[in-house]
Amino acid sequence: RPPPPRSLVHVCALHSSSLSAPFQPFVSHILPRRSFFAGKVFATSSSSPVTCASMSSFQAASSCSIRSASSAPSEVAKASRGAKSLTIGDVSVRLQECTSPQNVPALDGTRSARHYDSLLQSEEMLHDLRWMLQKDRIGQDMLLLGGPGPLKRRLATRFCEMTRREAEFVSLSRDTTESDLKQRREIAAQSSFFVDQCVVRAATQGRVLVLEGLEKAERNILPLLNNLLENREMSLEDGRFLVAPERYDRLLEAYSRAELDQLGLVRVSPRFRVIALAMPVPPYQGNSLDPPLRSRFQGRNIFAPSLSTQLPLLSAIAPSVSRPLLTNVAALSQILALGGESASGSNKSELLSRPAEFPETGSFHVARALETFPNANVHSVLSAIYPYRTFHRDDPTRIQVVDSALRRLNLLNDTEAGPAGGYVAQEFLPPASSEFPPTKAIRWSHQSKRDASDLVTPVSCGNTPMGGKTSYVETESAQCTIDGMLMLHALDRDVCLLGSRGSGKTMLVQQFARLLDYPTETFPLHRDMSHRDLLQRRTTTNSGDTVWQPSPLVVAAREGRLAVLDNIDRLPTGLLSVIQSLIQDRELSLFDGSKLIPYDRWLRLQEEDGMTLQQLSDARVYPVHPSFRVVALGTPPRKNNPYLTSEVSQLFSFISLPNPSVHDQKGIVHSVFGDRQSSARSALERFLIESEHETESSLKLSLRQLVRVASKLQRTMEHSTDEEALLALGDLLHANLLSRFMPIPARKRLEEMIDRAGIMTSDRTMDAIPAATVTSASSETRPASTSKENSKLDHLVPDVLFYDHIPSQQVLMQEMEQDFELGEHLLLIGNQGVGKNKVADRFLQRLGHARQYIQLHRDTTVASLTVQQNVVDGKLVSSPSPLVIAAKEGHVLVIDEADKAPTEVVAVLKGLIDGDMLLPDGRRILSQDHLDRLRADSGSFGDCVPIHPNFRMVVLANRPGWPFLGNDFFGECGDFFACHVVDNPDADSEVELLHSYGPNVSLNIIRALAEAFSDLRRKAEEGVLSYPYSTREAVQLIKHLETYPGDTISDALENVFSFDAYDPFLKDHVIESLAKVGFRISRDHFLPSLAARQKVIDSRKNKLTMSYERSASTAKATGPKHGKIDDTNEPHVGGNTWAGGTGGRDTAGMGGKGGPYRLDVGNPIHQISDAEKRNISREIEESARKMGQEELKRRLEQIDMSEYENEAYDRFFNSVTTQVEQLRQILESLQSKSKERVWFRNQGTGDLDEAKLIEGVSGESNIYKRRAEEQDPFHGGPRAPRHGALKKRIRFVFDVSGSMYYFNRADQRLQRLLETAVLVMESFHGFDDKYDYSIVGHSGDSPEIDFVDYGQPPKNRKERLQILQQMMAHSQYCWSGDHTIEAAEKAVKEVVKEEADEYFVCLVSDANLRRYHIDPRELGHLLSADERVQGFAIFIASLWNDAERIRKEMPPGRAFVCLDTASIPSTFNAIMRSSILK
């Protein structure tokens, strides 16, 4: 490696202070490490050196023992006590006694202390420590650079330990503020004052300031340290000023200390040093160091231990493991660790092209695991430490490369042994009642080595046995996962479970805690959390004093509980790094100045340093309970959410939950049904077999859904025939999988799976419901209560106007009541205006239940959803939200518009359903089971809100996907609820409902309107229209006719359809649907013109005295012109000045009148009416037309396109103009969703942040939040928050074979193919930042003919016409033959060659496959060969019925028949709807 650049000042200082030959140490300082001294550490109390540690003195401890208070301190810690000096090689420093031993960090008592005690005394590490002594001796601050892992921090700890230096530790994040580093305001006795923070404490008291994660802090925060680092000076908020020691001592010659104190001058200790720890940027993610800050540090690269250093350590840890195996493990860590270095070198292989971090301590953990469990499968052990198949699940090539490396090192086993490496926990031996910490013993057997003797390992445990019911169902995979968790727990490792939604993570953790008698402390994580929220929460006492309350994680650490970090995938990137010292070393510095230290070290402070419990308490030093463990839960990482960074992967051992096998799912079914057999149960099991290999997760039942379906089916079978049970099963599957709102391809696949399983499905149109289904009691309203106490709740029971004679709604409410009786929470989901609120209110009115109501929206936060915090008389007061009131009092909580709130907000409802929800004010909402366990653990409830047994939730949400574009509430937590689809009534029911609202309106009119609305809804379902017209609009229309019978039908229709009058495409379809039922409305008079309205006014006998009726526009067009150009591209609406404006006149723009031509500059379009467009003189119209023709001619000359070519292109374009607009609407909706803004916190202006109320009271300034487009957390550029910066990559494969040209005369198939190409090119124009598409063709000549390359779409009409001409020429002149199969195979392979958000392949062809003996099933297999690629075939032409036959033979949802170009946009709509939710 080249020598790093050094400041001349530092070089001179180093040279002048060398204690031996001046050149050799300096060479060692800047060049690669060389062995030029003996590699020993000397601590001297006299003139003769005494060796305190060397490699030969290392003794390995039993790898299966539990940490205890009797573990001995490190050799360095013992040697440093009482020593006067320290020597490493040729560098010596004098030691001073510390006055606060609790502030001196130490490795003894930390996790893996023995391993690191020896590692840090290896010659490699001694070089680093010697360098640190050099820097300390000459007063320079240090920056240790290296990859992720605890080595840098433990090296800094060892430096402080061996020099007996007190230290202040702080972990930086992007949320770190100035008040976290310098001074923070606190309030006591109604007065505010400043409290020194870590930087000031370290500077004034001569401590070492350790700053970890320097690359994570925002760039404008750390420069506040610049002057302190350079000149040892800093101004403080309380008016004091830190002064360099030399300057202060000189001032003492002229002033007394009291005078300097009065001046506010504070001396910085000469022993103050800063050790910064950082990862290099690049290759790691983060902020590069500000140059002024960087120049103030001396840097050193800290490398992971080499192979020669690791091997003796591994042999000491695992003496019974073979040396070759340990060598291979160490070699693997070296190979994969290289991935963390910069990939700029020319000799980097594919494996090393980006970081592939093997944990820094991974080889130690593997060795210990193999020593403790000698027959464990090596690959299983490695997969727990380094789960590369989960980390890189979207990159098969990378997995293959790592597999290849493992295979070469003989570390890859062909047999799958599960997460426990083949071991099975057989028996738990109870703990001794007086033992501390409590310990159980587990007896293990090996599943494949029966002759091996059983193994017994001790494990830490809790002391709170769990009683009551459990939701755990013992299946083969679940038990295998539990064994893996127990094995990692026996190895003293914290665990992270990775599994998809509904895979049973929560259930497994509960069973794990039950087996080990652990009380759990669940900590639900979400995106709005800051680094403070992870550790402590700021609040006030009853007297208004500010205090800090611990988070559930800190409570668990203090009390010895099992901390469950739920949803770690939702946290902002890098936030988990603030707890890495707690996870890795069981040590933590908190915001209130208190510290958590390992239990062993806490005991030794008493035994060896003589500190009393009172002194430790006064110093706010508390032990981490030795039984404390952490289990993290998350989903597997994805490209759009790679949250498992290199740092996070160092914190845990991982277990990836497999998708439940059919055997496991049958086990769950058996747990519900027992031994009872039936045709419905067999059909359910056949459906599970059908869905086993389905890659689309929406077509699979989660475990929670499976239990719900099986339980309801079992209840149904008790009083139903086999046929009725099969019908009920079909309805249950459709309801739980929400098939009503699935994309068309997925819905077809589900229907075929259900059909193949032999499950019957009922026609849920409500006119087919037998009268007996709706019981007479359905519409009866039950009294809320006859008791005087509950009569006070009558005002909370909904009272709604509702017509009870609609069969569909009655059946819906019956099903809701059945779920209510089973204790289920309900989810009502449907389009807008279908009556979700009315159904919910009428349901609660009938049952007499009190209701609490809350409506969510874009700005809803977790805090506002749960509690409302206010400052009253200087105290923080929490007002309960409707959610808390409902949970406490047993009311029903109705949550409206659940799809409008951010996903991380609604996700907290899962904790409430599970019976454990953390409130922002520190309280918990707990179910009775959790309360019982809490009472058994601590003897009291604490500050908890018990959940009333009658509490229920009814959640209302719009359907997922386009055009609503809210969050996917069903996909996020739908399986926690009993889901019910609320749809528009059937035809007869809707007529009856409308007649109830308008009894005086003609039934013929009502029937016609109901039929017209039904036709419009059908078009919306098919994707032709974007707006799903609902019963709400029909009801409002009838109300108008009922109230104003003198108004015409056109007047009433205008109220509903005015929104569509400005869109020619929508207007045509609305007029068409109305015409079908007899409403003949002229296109020109669909929106009444000004003249028509004036006639109505003139015809009225009673003139109005005042009218706000205004003409559409009083401005007249004066003459066409281009208009001025606005360089800022601000939107201009109306007027006649600016080019590119909308809704104006005279200028080139959009949506106006009198302009010469259209000009779209990307701003929103405001369309004036057709009547106003016609309101211009003939002269101006002719002038504008002439100017437009001249501009067109100039534009054609500019792109070298003749008028003939323009007319030729128009023949294709005009055929698909409507379809282009339709498809662009879909793409624009998707793009607008991805550009939603997010909250930025710690701002100086904006809206008051409810999480910063205490900071505001205490006087801090950055207490606001504001909305803006989300920025990259490290580089400041904008990015889409959920979708990342990756595009969707699409490859269109067009059939340009000779058959397209030959049969064109018969059915115009080539014409439709070219129109489809125009549709694609025009629709995707302008969406280059979101989509990257290419167009290729295939014919008898070749399977891949390039027309449009990725990233190079055609820029204008001429280029698009040239592509059409190329496609036509290929079809006319190519050789006969077909390459459909080869083209599909190449397209699937080609589309994934570059990283993307999603991959699509759309093959557009005729159905002429049989002629070339092509099997449709083979084509379907090729399109679905890569699970990353969504492949589809669109057949646009067919002889006889070939296309439909092929569609049926291909996999469900993979093929579409579009014999009319007009149907292609709806097909693309169906294909892309599934991606809108991602």
What DSSP line would sit under 214-268, residue for residue? GGGS-TTTGGGGHHHHHHS-EE-TTS-EEE-HHHHHHHHTTS-HHHHHHTTEEEP
Average pLDDT over every residue of 1401-1406: 87
Q: Which amino acid is at 1350?
A: Y
244-250 long-range contacts, CB within 8 A, separation 24+? 244/268, 245/269, 245/270
Q: What is the DSSP string of 1429-1466?
A: EEEEEEEEE-STTHHHHHHHHSPTTSEEE-SSGGGHHH
> Bigger pLDDT: 1002 or 868?
1002
Q: Which amino acid is at 714?
A: Q
- pLDDT tens for residues 1305-1315? 777 888 888 98
Buried b (16+ CB within 10 A) or exposed e, 508-531: bbbbbbbbbbbbbbbbbbbbbbbb
What is the distance between the alpha carbons of residues 1255 and 539, in angstroms, rounded to a whole number?
10
Query: CB neighbours (10 Å) of residue 12?
Result: 11
pLDDT of residue 449: 74
348 pLDDT tier (thresholds 50, 70, 90): very low
What is the distance between the alpha carbons of residues 836 and 1015, in angstroms, rounded to a whole number?
22
Beta bridge partner(s), residue 937: none
- pLDDT tens for residues 1102-1120? 555 543 343 444 556 667 7
Of the ranges 264-278, 398-412, 418-432, the best mean pLDDT one: 264-278
1339 pLDDT tier (thresholds 50, 70, 90): confident
* Cα→Cα distances 685→477, 711, 755, 1388, Å: 18, 14, 13, 33
Query: Residue 1162 above 60 pLDDT?
Result: yes
- pLDDT tens for residues 577-614? 899 999 999 999 999 999 999 998 999 999 888 899 99
Average pLDDT over every residue of 1285-1291: 83
1381: Cα within 13 Å, side-chain hemisphere: 12
* Cα→Cα distances 826→214, 763, 813, 843, Å: 47, 23, 11, 12
Average pLDDT over every residue of 1367-1373: 81
pLDDT of residue 1262: 62
- pLDDT tens for residues 61-74? 223 333 333 345 56
Angle formed at CA 1014 by CA 1011 and CA 1019, multiple of 5 degrees: 130
What is the distance between the alpha carbons of residues 568 and 386, in angstroms, rounded to a whole number?
18
Q: What is the DSSP string of 166-178?
A: -EEEEE--TT--H
1478 pLDDT tier (thresholds 50, 70, 90): very low
Identify the residue whose tokens are 């000359």: 1197
Cα 198 off chain centre by: 33
Q: What is the DSSP string of 39-73?
A: --EEEESSSS-EEEE-GGG--PPPTTPPP-TTPPP
- pLDDT tens for residues 359-392? 888 899 999 999 999 999 999 999 999 988 888 8
Buried b (16+ CB within 10 A) or exposed e, 198-222: bbbbbbbbbbbbbbbbbbbbbeebb
Least confident of 41-50, 156-165, 1450-1459: 41-50
What is the distance between the alpha carbons of residues 924 and 909, in angstroms, rounded to a whole number?
13
What is the distance between the alpha carbons of residues 421 and 1371, in angstroms, rounded to a whole number?
59
What is the distance between the alpha carbons of residues 1320 and 1227, in angstroms, rounded to a whole number?
12
- As a 3-state breakdown, the chain gives helix, strand, coil percent values, each rounded to 5, of 45, 15, 40
Least confident of 122-136, 487-501, 950-964: 950-964
- Secondary structure class of 494 (helix, strand, coil): coil
Least confident of 51-65, 148-162, 226-240, 1410-1424: 51-65
Burial class of residue 2 (count of CB atoms within 10 Å of its CB; 0-12, 13-18, 19+): exposed
Query: Residue 876 above 70 pLDDT?
Result: no
Strand 916-918 and strand 924-926: the pairing is: antiparallel
Q: What is the DSSP string of 261-298?
A: HHTTEEEPPTT-EEEEEE--TTTSSSPPPPHHHHTTSE
Give the residue from 982, 1006, 1005 showing the smallest Cα distance to 993: 1006
Are residues 983 and 808 in contact, defined by beta-carbon separation less than 8 angstroms? yes
Identify the residue whose tokens are 């006694």: 97
Burial class of residue 72 (count of CB atoms within 10 Å of its CB; 0-12, 13-18, 19+): middle
Buried b (16+ CB within 10 A) or exposed e, 1031-1067: bbbbbebbbbbeeeeeeebbebbbebbeebbbbebbb
pLDDT of residue 760: 85
Buried b (16+ CB within 10 A) or exposed e, 86-114: bbbbbbeeebeebeebbbbbbbbbbbbbb
What is the distance between the alpha carbons of residues 979 and 737, in angstroms, rounded to a whole number?
9
What is the distance between the alpha carbons of residues 570 and 580, in angstroms, rounded to a whole number?
17
The token pair that represents 1012 in the structure block: 């017209």
- pLDDT tens for residues 817-831? 988 888 899 999 988
Average pLDDT over every residue of 528-541: 85
Contacting residues for 1304 by C-beta, under 8 A, at least 6 apart: 1310, 1311
pLDDT of residue 768: 39
- pLDDT tens for residues 1252-1273? 656 666 556 665 566 555 554 5
- pLDDT tens for residues 903-953? 778 888 888 888 888 887 778 888 887 787 777 666 555 578 889 999 999
What is the distance between the alpha carbons of residues 137 and 159, in angstroms, rounded to a whole number?
13
- pLDDT tens for residues 457-466? 999 988 887 7
Query: Residue 772 above 50 pLDDT?
Result: no
What is the distance between the alpha carbons of residues 669 and 678, in angstroms, rounded to a whole number?
12
Are residues 1118 and 1174 in contact, defined by beta-carbon separation less than 8 angstroms? no
pLDDT of residue 53: 32
> Bigger pLDDT: 901 or 554?
554
pLDDT of residue 1215: 82
Query: Residue 788 above 60 pLDDT?
Result: no
The whole-chain average pLDDT of the chain stands at 79
pLDDT of residue 60: 29
Average pLDDT over every residue of 775-795: 52
Average pLDDT over every residue of 974-988: 87
Query: Residue 324 above 70 pLDDT?
Result: yes
Q: At what angle are helices 378-385 and 362-372 packed, to 10 degrees?
A: 140
In total, the chain counts a number of residues equal to 1478
Give the residue from 1346, 1297, 1291 showing the smallest Cα distance to 1320: 1291
pLDDT of residue 618: 92
- Secondary structure class of 754 (helix, strand, coil): helix
Of the ranges 325-339, 488-502, 1012-1026, the best mean pLDDT one: 488-502
Give the residue from 1290, 1277, 1280 showing the smallest Cα distance to 1394: 1290
> Bigger pLDDT: 472 or 1324?
1324
- pLDDT tens for residues 48-97? 333 333 323 222 222 333 333 334 556 666 666 778 889 998 999 998 88
Are residues 1294 and 1252 in contact, defined by beta-carbon separation less than 8 angstroms? no
Q: At what angle are helices 476-490 and 505-515 packed, to 10 degrees?
A: 50
What is the distance between the alpha carbons of residues 932 and 363, in angstroms, rounded to a whole number?
42
Query: Residue 1181 above 80 pLDDT?
Result: no
What is the distance between the alpha carbons of residues 1389 and 1386, in angstroms, rounded to a whole number?
5
Q: At what angle are helices 123-137 and 23-30 packed, to 10 degrees?
A: 110
| DSSP 8-state code for residue 1339 | -
Alpha-carbon torsion, ordered 1054, 1056, 1058, 1062, to 10 deg = -130
Of the ranges 140-144, 310-314, 1004-1008, 1162-1166, the best mean pLDDT one: 140-144
Average pLDDT over every residue of 963-977: 80
The token pair that represents 931 in the structure block: 């309360």
Contacting residues for 1169 by C-beta, under 8 A, at least 6 apart: 1061, 1062, 1087, 1089, 1112
pLDDT of residue 918: 83
pLDDT of residue 258: 93
- pLDDT tens for residues 1240-1256? 666 655 555 656 656 66
- The helices-and-strands tally (H runs, E runs) of the chain is 56, 48
Give the residue from 1253, 1265, 1263 showing the smallest Cα distance to 875: 1253
- Whether residue 4 has a cis bond before it, omega within 30° of 0: no
Give the residue from 588, 530, 593 showing the smallest Cα distance to 558: 588
